[in-house]
Structure 1
């Protein structure tokens, strides 16, 4: 029998634990939905695509303006295990959030193995800071910026909440109104023992340095930490460990387990006001009040009132 690799798991079992697709019948269904719904959103919601936030071709952001000035902003960082997907697969939350009164931005970054994880972290931080610095020109209230990420994107968002990368004297907790972390990987030590590490090339030192749960600051902004019910035991553990670590550091931590969702489709709740996650997002953005009316074709139109949280 093969020897144990990490946490009581043999290699095949550990690989399975860090394979979210092992919990769904066909991952391609969700990846196709990301692309199709995002492309449709970009035809229906005004957007500025491929805005450069850095000097590299991959350092771009798509920005969906809010319908009014001084709006809250949700910044989304996509997942894909730091090696797949792009901002072009991440437009779909704008379909509901922009009519609700929020601006929405999807950040792109270079992928492994072309870029090391340290570089990817730096790119996402630069993209986020560009949005902070340009908030006024974008019609955004810089005090109402919320970060959101899914899977690897949740890891990258949490890395952006650590101290030490902003201008001197500036702390992320004083800049961001909050963060939405979905099905994230926050400790990379087990990851480096799996197939996921093949394009990343993490050693023990890099895994420790790039594990945000090991470097949490004393203060964190309000957090929504969520995962699907159909997740592996390791993803559930990573979620629970972060909830425990963050609770004493944040004024508000919402611990959500969305039982009918999985690792991939939980993102579809981000702009759904009738879902537990969507309602939490709207509260975080300071948007409240909704009535719905049926329109032709049985689609639903939402009429929103904008108010403080």
Structure 2
């Protein structure tokens, strides 16, 4: 298939418009339905779990997170940090707690992180906020022997941060167990010339600096034990699928413990929405990696 550099702008924009690839509904409806499903799941999680909402992890208005806590007194609970997607310009933590529905009943803590979406936030700010949120969670929970799992959407910064913390504080006893990267973009360069970048205003330099592909070597040196899952939806666009496959190959080649999950009968939206269900393939895989089923 054609390399993105050979595509005309309208083809590139089509490839990087996930809503135009949903077979279930129109593009606008896919986005509306996605937000609604995630919000409903989050509301359900807030009714089910004990919660700590709007916990600050920094001084900024947007620097808040929500914690969904299981009703167990075990000190051995794993913790999942969920960083929402939405092309860095949609969604928030108010739609990011849905994963807690099946997980809290299994004794897993879920932390949903907010960051300043564009146009208020640019890529460098967002990356630094995500970094700060992870450090904050680690410090907050360092007294309990946790297994740390990061469920990230588009952002590998988390893994990088967690492994870095292991190097800074060797006494920090929770190894990073896994990272789930779902329907992500790992090379940001192709979107620089598209409408996606209008609110973000990334230069090519910013895109390269913040692309997970750039971080592979750092990952290799620090997270050899971490199980990374690169998941892609069957009905993601060819370009999204190619990004996942190529990123998976890069990680595999550098010797990391990585699996590629091609999730059948899903598109860019319900591949995430279905995490509200305990029987869903990715939910079960997450629990399996955490040693919980």
TM-score bracket for the superposition, by shorter chain length: 0.7 to 0.9
Alignment of 1:20 onto 2:18: yes
Deviation by residue 1:38-80 (Cα, 9 ceiling, x = unmatched): 1122122211100011111111110011323220001100011
Which secondary structure state, in structure 1, belongs to the residue aligned with residue 50 of structure 2? coil
What residue is the counterpart of 1:304 in the other structure?
A: none
Structure 1: segments with no counterpart, 5+ residues: 289-309
CA distance in 2, matches of 1:64, 1:191: 34
Which secondary structure state, in structure 2, belongs to the residue aligned with residue 92 of structure 1? coil
What residue is the counterpart of 2:150 in the other structure?
A: 147
Q: CA RMSD in A?
A: 2.4
Structure 2: segments with no counterpart, 5+ residues: none
Alignment of 1:241 onto 2:246: yes
Q: Which has the higher strand share?
A: 1
Aligned residues: 276
**C-alpha distance 223-250 of structure 1, shift in aligned 2 (>3 A):** farther
CA contact (8 A) 1:183 1:235 kept: yes
Alignment of 1:120 onto 2:116: no
Q: Which has the higher helix share?
A: 2
Deviation by residue 1:253-301 (Cα, 9 ceiling, x = unmatched): 121111211111112343534332122100122211xxxxxxxxxxxxx
Correspondence for 2:48 among 20, 40, 44: 44
Alignment of 1:257 onto 2:262: yes
Q: Per chain length, whose mean CA-contact separation is higher, i.e. which structure has more relative contact order (CA < 8 Å, sep 6+)? A: 2
CA distance in 2, matches of 1:100, 1:163: 26
What residue is the counterpart of 1:276 in the other structure?
A: 281
**C-alpha distance 248-273 of structure 1, shift in aligned 2 (>3 A):** farther
What residue is the counterpart of 1:87 in the other structure?
A: 93
What residue is the counterpart of 1:225 in the other structure?
A: 230
**C-alpha distance 59-269 of structure 1, shift in aligned 2 (>3 A):** same
User: How do 1:1-309 and structure 2 match up within 5 A?
Assistant: 6-24=4-22, 25=25, 26-27=29-30, 28-66=32-70, 67=72, 68-136=74-142, 140-142=144-146, 144-150=147-153, 154=154, 156=155, 158-162=156-160, 166=164, 169-170=167-168, 175-216=175-216, 217=218, 218-219=220-221, 220=223, 221-249=226-254, 251-270=256-275, 272-288=277-293
CA distance in 2, matches of 1:141, 1:64: 18
**C-alpha distance 136-271 of structure 1, shift in aligned 2 (>3 A):** farther
